[in-house]
Structure 1
Amino acid sequence: MSQQIKPGNTGPSANELAHWLALNQTAGVGALTFQRLLQHFGDASRVFAAQNSELRQLGLRANTLRSLQKPNWHEVEKQQKWAACAGNSLITSACPTYPNLLLQISDPPPILFVSGSSSLLNSPQIAIVGSRKPSPGGEQNAKQLSRALGQHGLTITSGLAYGIDAASHQGALSSQTPTIAVLGSGLDNIYPRRHQQLAQHIRNNGALVSEWAPTTEPLSHHFPRRNRIISGLSLATLVIEASEKSGSLITAKLALEQGREVMAVPGAIQNPMAAGCNRLIQDGATLVSSHEDVLNNLNGFLLLNPIPVKDPHLAGINNNLSSTKPKLTSCQHKVLYSVDYDPTSIDNIVVQSGLTIEQVSSILLALELLGHVSSAPGGRYYRLTTGTC
């Protein structure tokens, strides 16, 4: 079984690892209690041999004491067999290969289940999170930023959720750079279900990570816990599109508590999807308008030789025009400059451009086919590019 333990180190033996697995699934034993028990007893096997009176003095409740008396060794065996499969591994917090940045947080997971390249967990990472229902512009920003940052040597870490998470993973994969997905479920129980194929691509070109046993269901309380791992693995957390009540702000808050950098892509003050990011910037988060802003801000943390950027798409997060696209006509420029990066109604576009509604409708269709704008509900449009062509 892969324990991610180098020969000659002081990591747990096979027997001790089995007790780690048993303790990890004991009712009422979370990361902090696990730490406290190990510090008191020295190793996990002694916890199971301890008297109830001693365990009670450590604050353990009756349901935890009952669980310790009847460890689920059948489940432990299943997890050991899972780890023995090709590409799977277990990393305990006692192993030298446990990610150093994650070990520095107040409550690191005792055990990480990893499918894919476990060595990536110690690579320099940036967490990219945001709305599960982003605008086309927000989704494109996530893809282009992750692609650019991946090209410059950063591993993209996110949570496999819909929206910005998925776009960030896809951006990294599109440039053949690694990405890590941290799940709020077991790795044999991919959530959301529609991301099974994306998860497989990540497994083949990066890593899937969870603190939960492989068959664990995606319960709601797992996801805030998952977020501390996303931020804990990373040098910084970048938020792209988030409302004021977005769950991605939990990740940003955790990053701050962990002493990590928080960055955000700003948006128009009228856009509710930008309110969370704008608030973060107002509270001191670094404003990001290009991947260079991220790299410059991390300069003190990274000792990287930047990979030469060959892709012209990486010049900025809003520039996805290639030299093969036809140049815009003057009327097309008028319409494009009348469309904001936030939802813009056709009526406003007509007023701003000075063209007729028939002309505007025809030009918007052409611009959409060229990839300069995208339609939104209610007959509105977002701009996707700068249009400097």
Structure 2
Amino acid sequence: MQDTDPTPPATQCSNPAVIADWIRLAEAPGVGCRTAQVLLDAFGSPAAILSAGRAALAAHVPANVAAALCAPLPSETARLLDLTVDWLARPAHHILTLHDADYPEALRHIPDPPLLLYIKGRRALLQQSLVAVVGSRNASTQGRANAENFARALSQAGLCVVSGMALGIDTAAHEGALEGPASTIAVIGTGIDRVYPARNRLLAHRIAEEGCIVSEYALGTPPVANNFPRRNRIISGMVAGVLVVEAAAQSGSLITAQMAAEQGREVFALPGSIHSALSKGCHHLIREGARLVETVDEVLEAMRVSPLVRQGTSTAPVEDGVLLDALGYDPIEPDALLECFGGDAALLAGELLALELAGVLERLPGGRVQRVVRAA
């Protein structure tokens, strides 16, 4: 048995041979995330698993699984490997394995972490402070507005917003977060080369350009009902907290919230009318211990003390006086202040929020900000 380091020092995601072994392990009949983890704990790597031999494997997994891992490479898996190599060669396409150094650390430690993450877009967002915003597909107008407004403010405060790219609350959350510098991550329940639902095709393209799309499913995987609840464990597992904006009593977002609670994440819920069916789920969560929140500040206050939210960055904060001098007294685009922060948009957003909460800065229509001058 080999010792395994859960966080190897170097990334392997650019090595096609390594990725091929991970895909073969993930696609082997009878091998799910938990079985794969048993084998990885025992043998150390997919390559070692695939070369271990049936007898050695059968000491850890059922005989039929051991036989499947030792069988010749199936033709469909071979085609999938070729397809994946071609996909990976395109710009902004990435694959992270469970053993890669930049695999999201919080996700690595859930009971059944994905073996592979297919990524399209800004992979670095996975290393940022993350919060999920989820809710009903059949959302009300007010619910969609709340999701968009909360997500925009969270992104402006430096928290990247994670959601599932479903219609309704998820869509509004992604759209709001894209208006802030911390952007958004969409975790999907199909292969990353598919867009589901089709009505979100333009949104998916925008997220791939300005944010990040993530899937654990192999290329070509169609929308299968069982995949979406499993997708939710990734949403909750990646983040420090989950905000449920609007949810019916049987909403799938309650699954995400339940998983978040089991994973030790913060769970927030917006209250609603006692007469609205779309408030039933949130009210249930509140009765079960979720934090009732009415403002973004309440979410931010709780998130700042979470061990999963970064307490600092590689760039030192700028003194308030320096930032105020850069602000001047006229309306200004936040992007014009980025030089003060070495290009760190999330850090700038956090400092601007601090000034806003202190009452010395206000936000203007169109995203601009302006220093507040108070009379003596």
Bigger Cα displacement from structure 2, 171-180 vs 112-121: 171-180
Between structure 1 and structure 2, the one with the greater Rg is 1
Q: What is the aligned partner in structure 2 of residue 50 from structure 1?
A: 52
**2:114 matched to 1:113?**
no
Between the aligned partners of 1:145 and 1:187, the Cα distance in structure 2 is 27
Q: What is the aligned partner in structure 2 of residue 97 from structure 1?
A: 102
Between the aligned partners of 1:81 and 1:235, the Cα distance in structure 2 is 34
Q: Is the 8 A contact 2:92 2:122 kept in 1?
A: yes
* 1:178 shift after superposition: 0.9
Letter in 2 for 1:290: T
**2:127 matched to 1:122?**
yes
Q: Is the 8 A contact 1:151 1:307 kept in 2?
A: no
Between the aligned partners of 1:61 and 1:190, the Cα distance in structure 2 is 37
Q: Is the 8 A contact 2:11 2:102 kept in 1?
A: no
Q: What is the aligned partner in structure 1 of residue 140 from structure 2?
A: 135
Between the aligned partners of 2:70 and 2:123, the Cα distance in structure 1 is 30
Between the aligned partners of 1:120 and 1:162, the Cα distance in structure 2 is 23
- 1:22 alignment partner, one of 14, 21, 24: 24
State the TM-score, normalizing by the size of structure 2.
Answer: 0.77
Q: What is the aligned partner in structure 2 of residue 151 from structure 1?
A: 156
Between the aligned partners of 1:77 and 1:211, the Cα distance in structure 2 is 18
Between the aligned partners of 1:286 and 1:277, the Cα distance in structure 2 is 10
What residue ranges of structure 2 are gaps of 5+ in the alignment?
1-7, 313-346, 366-376
Q: What is the aligned partner in structure 2 of residue 173 from structure 1?
A: 178
Q: Is the 8 A contact 1:27 1:64 kept in 2?
A: no
Q: What is the aligned partner in structure 1 of residue 251 from structure 2?
A: 246
Bigger Cα displacement from structure 2, 204-213 vs 170-179: 170-179
Q: What is the aligned partner in structure 2 of residue 9 from structure 1?
A: 10
Q: Is the 8 A contact 1:235 1:261 kept in 2?
A: yes
Bigger Cα displacement from structure 2, 139-148 vs 279-288: 279-288
TM alignment of 1:271-286, pairs within 5 A: 271-286=276-291
Between the aligned partners of 2:246 and 2:50, the Cα distance in structure 1 is 47
Q: Is the 8 A contact 1:26 1:68 kept in 2?
A: no
Q: Is the 8 A contact 1:16 1:43 kept in 2?
A: no
What residue ranges of structure 1 are gaps of 5+ in the alignment?
1-6, 316-320, 323-389
Q: What is the aligned partner in structure 1 of residue 352 from structure 2?
A: 308
Please list the CA deviations of residues 17-52 of structure 1 after superposition, one character each: whole Å capped at 9, or x if unmatched: 321121111121111111111111222123222333
Bigger Cα displacement from structure 2, 45-54 vs 229-238: 45-54
Please list the CA deviations of residues 150-194 of structure 1 after superposition, one character each: whole Å capped at 9, or x if unmatched: 100000100000100000001112345410000000111111111
Between the aligned partners of 1:69 and 1:218, the Cα distance in structure 2 is 28
State the TM-score, normalizing by the size of structure 1.
Answer: 0.75
- 1:182 alignment partner, one of 175, 183, 187: 187
What SS does the corresponding residue of 1:180 show, helix, strand or coil? strand
TM alignment of 1:1-389, pairs within 5 A: 9=10, 11=12, 14-60=16-62, 62=64, 65-66=67-68, 68-71=70-73, 72-175=77-180, 177-301=182-306, 302=309, 303=311, 306-309=350-353
Q: Percent identity?
A: 39
* 1:14 shift after superposition: 4.1
Between the aligned partners of 2:18 and 2:140, the Cα distance in structure 1 is 49
Letter in 2 for 1:21: I
Cα separation, partners in 2 of 1:58 and 1:85, compared to 1, 3 Å: same
The aligned length equals: 312
Cα separation, partners in 2 of 1:10 and 1:190, compared to 1, 3 Å: closer
* 1:299 shift after superposition: 1.9
* 1:196 shift after superposition: 1.0
Between the aligned partners of 2:185 and 2:71, the Cα distance in structure 1 is 37
* 1:64 shift after superposition: 6.4
* 1:293 shift after superposition: 0.7
Letter in 2 for 1:209: V
Letter in 1 for 2:84: Q
Between the aligned partners of 2:16 and 2:192, the Cα distance in structure 1 is 22
What SS does the corresponding residue of 1:37 show, helix, strand or coil? helix
What SS does the corresponding residue of 2:304 show, helix, strand or coil? coil
Please list the CA deviations of residues 267-295 of structure 1 after superposition, one character each: whole Å capped at 9, or x if unmatched: 11221110110111111111110100100
Please list the CA deviations of residues 35-83 of structure 1 after superposition, one character each: whole Å capped at 9, or x if unmatched: 1111112221232223333333323352662364132223112212211
Q: Is the 8 A contact 2:188 2:215 kept in 1?
A: yes
What SS does the corresponding residue of 1:209 show, helix, strand or coil? strand
Q: Is the 8 A contact 1:28 1:64 kept in 2?
A: no
Letter in 2 for 1:143: E
What SS does the corresponding residue of 1:132 show, helix, strand or coil? coil
Please list the CA deviations of residues 209-228 of structure 1 after superposition, one character each: whole Å capped at 9, or x if unmatched: 00011211111111111000
What SS does the corresponding residue of 1:280 show, helix, strand or coil? helix
Letter in 2 for 1:27: P
Give me the CA root mean square deviation: 2.7
Letter in 1 for 2:46: A
